[in-house]
Amino acid sequence: MRPDVKVSPVLHTSPVTDMGVELTGIVAAIHAVVPDCILIIDGIRYAAHGCIDVDVCGIDGYVISPYRVFPATAMGAHGFVAG
C-alpha cells in the first residue's frame, strides 16, 4: 500500500479458492498507511454465506450481486402470486 492511494478494492472471498480473507486485519493494515483511504469490498462471493457489519469493519462500501444471493426464480415476477 502506498500513501498516495485514494481508493482500494478488497476481495472478501476468492472465486478461485473459495477462501475468505481476514477483513478487519486487512482494513487495519491499509488504514495504518492511508487513514483516509476509501475501501470498497467485493463481497459477491461471501454475501450469500455470511454476515458482515460494515460499521465494525471500518469499510466504506460492500458490493454484492443479487444473482448470487437470490436464485433466478426469486427475482422478478417469476412465481409471484397476487393475493
| Cell output for 36 | 483516509
Query: How many C-beta neighbours within 10 Å does residue 40 have?
Result: 14
Cβ-in-10-Å burial (0-12, 13-18, 19+) of 67 comes to exposed
| Location of C-alpha cell 465494525 | 56
pLDDT along the chain (83 residues), means of 10: 93 85 93 95 83 86 77 51 41
pLDDT value of position 78: 45
pLDDT value of position 40: 93
Helix (H, G, I), strand (E, B) or coil at 54: helix
pTM exceeds 0.75, yes or no: no
How many angstroms separate the CA atoms of 38 and 65, rounded?
20
